[in-house]
Structures are given as C-alpha cells and as structure tokens.
Amino acid sequence: MKVQCDIRFTNSTHGSYLSGQQLTGEVQIKLTEAKRFNEITLRIVGYSSVNWSEKRGQGRRRRTVYYGARRDHLSSQKVLFRPQQNGNPGELPAGEHMYEFACELPTSLPTSFEGAYGHCRYTAQVVFDRPWKFNLTHKVGFTVVQPRDLNLQSPSIRMPTQMEDARVFCCGIWRTKPLFVRVTVPCTGYVPGQAIPLTINLDNRSSRLIEGVNMKLQQEVTYRAESPAHKYRRELHTIVKHIGNGVEGEATNQYVQRLVVPTVVPTCGDQNLISVAYRLHLTVRVEGCGSDPVLEIPLIIGTTPLIPDQPATVAIPPQTVVAGDGFNFGNVPEQLPSASGIMRQNTLPPEYLPPPTYEEAMNAAAVVITDDTDTHAIGTTKPYVPLYPSYNFNDIQWPPLPPNSSLPQPPLPPKQ
C-alpha cells in the first residue's frame, strides 16, 4: 500500500467522550512515494438512523412496508491538504505527515447506540480526493455519551420505592386466603457497576406453594420511524436475571437480593429517534392455576452516582469555544477535565470514589462502520463497539442504604 492513514484520539484512550467535551486527535499519513491529491479532508459526523420492514395485507395484496428515519447531529469538515492556488492538484512528498485537530462536541449530542433496528453513530473519516481516480477513505468510530448526573434528576429518585400486590386464587367456587407480595428498593437511580438491593416480602396466607421469585432488570429500546408514517418499534432485553426463594403455603419469607447493573447504555433519548429505558420486573411464580403476581419499578441508569447528603455543587469553567467550523489546528489542550464536570455545574463525587472506566456494553456486537462511500477504504477498518462508563464499587453498597428504607406496611385488601 503506497498510502497509509491512521486516526488517533489523543485525549481519550478508547475514543469515548461526553457530549460537551472537546475531541482532540491527530491524523498520520504515510506515503512511500510522492502523491498528487486534489484535496485531503477530515470529516467528523454523527447521526441517528432507524429502519425496519413489516408485511401488510394478504394474498395478492400482501406487500412489504419499509419504515425509517434519519437525523443528523454533527457535521464538521477540515481541509488537511489544500490544492495549489491555481486549482491544480498538489503534490504531497513521500514520508510521514502529521495533522493535529480538535473538535467541540455540542452538549446536545445523543448517546451512541447500536441496535437491531437502528443506531446512533459517530465517525471520523479522512478522504483522499485524487485526480482522475477514485477517492481513498479511512474511517474510525468513536463513542459519545450524554451525561446523566443522578444528583441533578428529580429528588424523588432518592426516595425508597415499593410495589405491592395482594390477591386470592380461585378454582370454581373455591377461594384461597390472600397472598401479599411487597418489593422495596432504597432509590430508583443507579449507575453501571452498582448493586440494586431488593427487599422481598412474601406473606403467603394461602395454601398455594410459592415456587420462587423471578427478578429481572429489563432494558426497553424504542425506535421511532418518520417515513412513510410515524411508527414505533420496541425491543425488550433482560440484562440481569435472578431466581429468588419462594415460600410454603401459610408461611412468610423476607430476604434481600442484590442485582449488579452491568455495563449498559445510560437512560437516554427522550427526544431522539432511539430511546432506552429500564425497569425492575418481578414475577412471583405460584403453583397451580391462576395468574402470577407481577410487579414493576421504573429505574434510571445514569453516568454519575447519587451522592448522599448532596454536597455543594462545583462550577467547572467551560472550554474555549472555537470559532468557525468547530476545528482548531494546533494549540491542542494536553488533557481534559474529568467526566464528572464538563462544561456544566455538576455534583462531584467524593474523592475516594474511583472514576469510571469505559467498557463495552453487555452482549454488545461489533459492527462494521463502513458504508457505500467507503468503496476504496485503505488500512484495516476495526469493528466498532460503543464504550459506556462503569464504576467499580468493590462490593460495597453505594449510596449507603437509608435508615428505615423498608418500613412495615399494613397489607393491601385482597383482589381477585
């Protein structure tokens, strides 16, 4: 290969950024001999796209309807190598050529995501415009995460939350005594790596055997199409599952189960084409006929954990905004501030909490980011997987459980 190209991000080891951060990097071009180019440009783009198909009608009227939508979030371009003043192609000599760049990422950028029916993707691409030949391209992907500081959410997520169910079971004219179920969580906001402590109360006054309690942390992904009409498609994934103990007939049981949140995309996308939400889903499996009690508690998965007692907020001065198209060659900052305080007023966690690491999402599949414009790609295009923040709490409960997080309550009246 006579032309080699490499794009490196200099202020992020794995190419992961928070929206509002500054992306910096360098483009390395190696030529084994002098080459003539009309132009060499660096393009940084980000967009969301959804698409799927559905069958409609029967028989001869059966047809396939294609739903889709696209929304652009980021588009910047910078010329690395300019042609001569007379418009003729310029010659780039043999050897190694380095170009530094910096790009301000808007604070409104949605979180990177790769799903079955759509994606939100960010890429940096170098395009070699050659005279009388096909263009050469080299592309890499990077991750953008929209920060969600749990301390800036509604105060209600700090409060203990519980769901209850009370019912009787019938078989003809025969009715059992009631079964009371209660599940309590100390708060409804968590971050990846944090344990969710569930307190399960089973008061079984019936003669039925409670075989167990299925506890799941579920992720619901919603895709929104805009053409040929507004349409929604949803995916439901179980990302954590545990089967807890049941209880014999006419007996009670109480226990606490911890579900650790794996590395997943934070709750996001209320105004985007793709949104992600989470909830706890519990099913109490009852022996015999009758419906099983089901309880659900919505959760928020954030990027900064809840801090007890709300310390004072610290204002982080914003980075200098670059005029023009968002690029700044030269004068690149050596290091960005930590992820907990980028261009906004945030609640900073205690110093003894380690900063998050960026890891691949649970069960994430690597994707190929090349498209129809990359028919003459050079170099090795690495499979791309988004990286999301995750904390290591070393098996400690954070935040600490509040006092009286699970208060005894009078049983609900039974329902059939």
Residue with tokens 């980075």: 319
Query: What is the per-residue pLDDT across 6-37, written as a single tens digit (0 to 9) for each?
Result: 999 998 888 999 999 999 999 999 998 888 88
Burial letters 219-252, b for 16+ CB under 10 A, else e: bebbbbbeeeeebebeeebebbeeebebbeeeee
Query: What is the per-residue pLDDT across 119-154, written as a single tens digit (0 to 9) for each?
Result: 999 999 999 988 888 889 999 999 999 999 999 999
**pLDDT for the residue numbered 319:** 42
Domains of the chain by residue range: 3-147+355-390, 153-301
Asked if domains 3-147+355-390 and 153-301 share a fold, the reply is yes
Which class is domain 153-301?
A: mainly beta
* pLDDT > 90? residue 386: yes
Query: What is the per-residue pLDDT across 297-334, written as a single tens digit (0 to 9) for each?
Result: 999 999 999 887 644 444 444 443 333 333 333 333 33
Query: What is the per-residue pLDDT across 180-200, written as a single tens digit (0 to 9) for each?
Result: 999 999 999 999 999 999 999
Q: Which fold has domain 3-147+355-390?
A: Immunoglobulin-like (2.60.40)
Residue with tokens 């950028």: 109
Percent of the chain with pLDDT over 70: 82
* pLDDT > 60? residue 75: yes
Residue-wise DSSP of 185-202:
ES-SEE-TT-EEEEEEEE
Beta-sheet strand order (sheet of 189-190)? 189-190, 294-301, 274-286, 210-225, 231-244
Give the bridge partners for 78, in sequence order. Answer: 42
370 phi, psi to nearest 5 deg: -75, 155
Instruction: Give 379's pLDDT tier (boundaries 50, 70, 90).
Output: confident
**pLDDT for the residue numbered 400:** 67
**pLDDT for the residue numbered 398:** 67
* pLDDT > 80? residue 366: yes
The more confidently predicted of residues 393 and 126 is 126
**pLDDT for the residue numbered 395:** 61
| Single pTM value for the model | 0.83
CA distance 250 to 114: 48
Nearest to 128 by CA among 1, 26, 42, 6: 42
Q: Is 19 exposed, middle or buried (0-12, 13-18, 19+ CB in 10 A)?
A: buried
* pLDDT > 70? residue 416: no
Query: What is the per-residue pLDDT across 201-246, written as a single tens digit (0 to 9) for each?
Result: 999 998 889 999 999 999 999 999 999 999 999 999 999 999 998 8
Instruction: Give 371's pLDDT tier (boundaries 50, 70, 90).
Output: confident
Query: What is the per-residue pLDDT across 265-282, written as a single tens digit (0 to 9) for each?
Result: 999 977 889 999 999 999
* pLDDT > 50? residue 339: no
**pLDDT for the residue numbered 270:** 74
**pLDDT for the residue numbered 324:** 35
